[in-house]
Structure 1
């Protein structure tokens, strides 16, 4: 295998000639979330802080364990009720419903760091970090080109804010299940209901810290896996992409920062392969396996690791403009 070419394409322009209504909805929602974080110091109390921290752990860890390892890569299996519970917790991270998230991620792995990748830094750091969210027209053509239709119907639906235009063809395993179809169709309502619940329990402090601050933090930590972990870090394994292991992202994102490990062995439930590679997502899966709940837990074989290990000095990170 050869080191991927450090080619950097001109970043996608933030100001395009046409913004779809979906792009407008997403940009308005994220602007409001970020703007309200300004008021967080004025509504600080320790109860609100710990609620925010607990929800950061629950939603962030569920993104890693459920959306990523369980649903996207099928690296282990759970009883359906427990699978749905973890997926519902992950849905409250405001990163999309299970069908859309898994579809986009599977597309990322299929076309990683190429023109078809939904969020590669070859188009610029900020594109891979967040700007790809505001380009649903291009995202649809990359993720589900066979179903690039029906714009008006989706745009009229304010309920499905974070859905792509069209139907993906790489998540039929999820689309067959009524639970995931229900979350897909009613996604925004769950966030509104939870925000109202937080407000009723703890007023504005709980709303701002439990919804706005927590959501913004989890979003950007997850986005760092797409951007930072394809630019800065170490490459231990000889993969055909720009993925890198970044210990800081691994610490913040519940093990997701061991990204070169993941791209080398994407079927593996364990991202932190060495004992010192902090991987809370793996610890949860191991606990579930120990009590007999998680089954068919996958991990890389020694032969596979020997085949991909790099026996040469680290290559420098690419320069992203």
Structure 2
């Protein structure tokens, strides 16, 4: 557990208070930490957090252009579907189920590249994947980088304040991080470069990758529907980039126990299944915490899982060579035990009839 506890850069207000409980900073402390963590003029090792938020602010003018110059109901519908469904599902497919949990494997690097670049690039894989391993190991306890008990702002600014990797890792710890990132195809630093830049990802390759992604998709959308469509979709991507930062606060009950019997079966943390993130992005969060390495988390009939549909389709065409599906295990462990024999009586004979019915 030492690696999990030390792999992320501890904020100035610490993970724990003097009593060993979660350190709950004020909003002022969180904002001060945020401004420090994105200040590349003070420390170039802040480059990854700076670039992550620079992308968000760069997308804002596209949203304004769409709203005030190119607005139409048709483009609004396209923007809504792109931000909520396309980018939401891609986040689950790529960052969550593949980069972090390796729930499936690609046949070759070509299909990995295609999946990685289905949408314009906004979130650096390093910031998401490594910290998410910590989130699962320490969910809702001190050290969880987006512990909902710390409050909304604690989670919203976590990518800068709590998710960057520790800048003082040993070479052995650094190599473990490289191993965690190896399957993603991200170009990593050497240990000497890490000591200089404070990141696993190589800054040159990361920035070139973002520029190439944005150039490709802007050109593609412009050719498909002109400047209006390009602005609508880029603006929608910026909207999603802000919205996704609110998810873990909501997905862990806003710091309260909002789990429901018969709906949320994982009782080890405060994660909950939410209808909206589930339907638009396949993010049934409590199910996911129950079986984090499953390529499917929509286990029940009503639990739409767009991310799983993509992974399954890729498997059918041979692009995905292997995946893990925990639905059968979920049914066996959490659905069948919720069935019990109940006595019914025949209205004609009055004799007992034994039937099996659901109780939740």
Same fold (TM over 0.5): yes
Paired residue total:
280
Give the gaps of 5 or more residues in structure 2: 1-20, 41-45, 189-201, 339-360
Q: Which residue of 2 aligns with 1:9?
A: 24
Structure 2 counterparts to residues 217-228 of structure 1, below 5 A = 217-228=239-250
Query: 1:176 and 1:36, CA in 2 relative to 1: closer, same or farther beyond 3 A?
Result: closer
SS of match in other structure, 2:270:
coil
Deviation for aligned residue 1:116: 1.6
Deviation for aligned residue 1:185: 5.3
The CA distance in 1 between the partners of 2:212 and 2:299, in whole Å, is 35
Note if contact 1:239-1:263 (Cα within 8 Å) is conserved in structure 2: no
Q: Which residue of 1 aligns with 2:304?
A: 278
Note if contact 1:67-1:102 (Cα within 8 Å) is conserved in structure 2: yes
Query: 1:47 and 1:194, CA in 2 relative to 1: closer, same or farther beyond 3 A?
Result: farther
Structure 2 counterparts to residues 43-192 of structure 1, below 5 A = 43-45=70-72, 48-49=75-76, 52=79, 55-56=82-83, 57-80=85-108, 81-89=110-118, 92-96=120-124, 98-128=125-155, 130-135=156-161, 138-140=162-164, 143-144=165-166, 146-147=168-169, 169-175=176-182, 180-181=187-188, 184=206, 186-192=208-214
* TM-score (normalised: structure 1): 0.71
SS of match in other structure, 1:267:
coil
Note if contact 2:56-2:241 (Cα within 8 Å) is conserved in structure 1: no
CA-atom RMSD, angstroms? 3.7
SS of match in other structure, 1:283:
helix
Give the gaps of 5 or more residues in structure 1: 1-5, 150-165, 312-321
The CA distance in 1 between the partners of 2:149 and 2:175, in whole Å, is 24
Spell out, residue by residue over 1:120-179, the C-alpha distance to the aligned partner (whole angstroms, 9 max, x if none): 212112321x222342xx433xx4364399xxxxxxxxxxxxxxxx96843425347765
The CA distance in 2 between the partners of 1:204 and 1:44, in whole Å, is 11
The CA distance in 2 between the partners of 1:290 and 1:218, in whole Å, is 30
The CA distance in 2 between the partners of 1:295 and 1:71, in whole Å, is 16
The CA distance in 1 between the partners of 2:138 and 2:299, in whole Å, is 24
Spell out, residue by residue over 1:100-135, the C-alpha distance to the aligned partner (whole angstroms, 9 max, x if none): 33222222222222222222212112321x222342
Query: 1:49 and 1:115, CA in 2 relative to 1: closer, same or farther beyond 3 A?
Result: same
Q: Which residue of 2 aligns with 1:317?
A: none
Structure 2 counterparts to residues 306-321 of structure 1, below 5 A = none
The CA distance in 1 between the partners of 2:229 and 2:135, in whole Å, is 35
The CA distance in 1 between the partners of 2:130 and 2:146, in whole Å, is 13
Q: Which residue of 1 aligns with 2:276?
A: 248
Q: Which has the higher strand share?
A: 2
Query: 1:291 and 1:59, CA in 2 relative to 1: closer, same or farther beyond 3 A?
Result: same
The CA distance in 2 between the partners of 1:116 and 1:49, in whole Å, is 40
Bigger CA radius of gyration:
2
Spell out, residue by residue over 1:165-211, the C-alpha distance to the aligned partner (whole angstroms, 9 max, x if none): x9684342534776544753533322442465268645542342121
Deviation for aligned residue 1:36: 4.7
* TM-score (normalised: structure 2): 0.64
Note if contact 1:144-1:169 (Cα within 8 Å) is conserved in structure 2: no
The CA distance in 2 between the partners of 1:174 and 1:204, in whole Å, is 36
The CA distance in 2 between the partners of 1:28 and 1:173, in whole Å, is 26
Question: Using CA pairs below 8 Å that are at least 6 residues apart, which structure has the higher relative contact order?
Answer: 1
The CA distance in 1 between the partners of 2:23 and 2:304, in whole Å, is 31
Query: 1:192 and 1:288, CA in 2 relative to 1: closer, same or farther beyond 3 A?
Result: closer
Spell out, residue by residue over 1:192-243, the C-alpha distance to the aligned partner (whole angstroms, 9 max, x if none): 424652686455423421212x212322443343121111654522332211
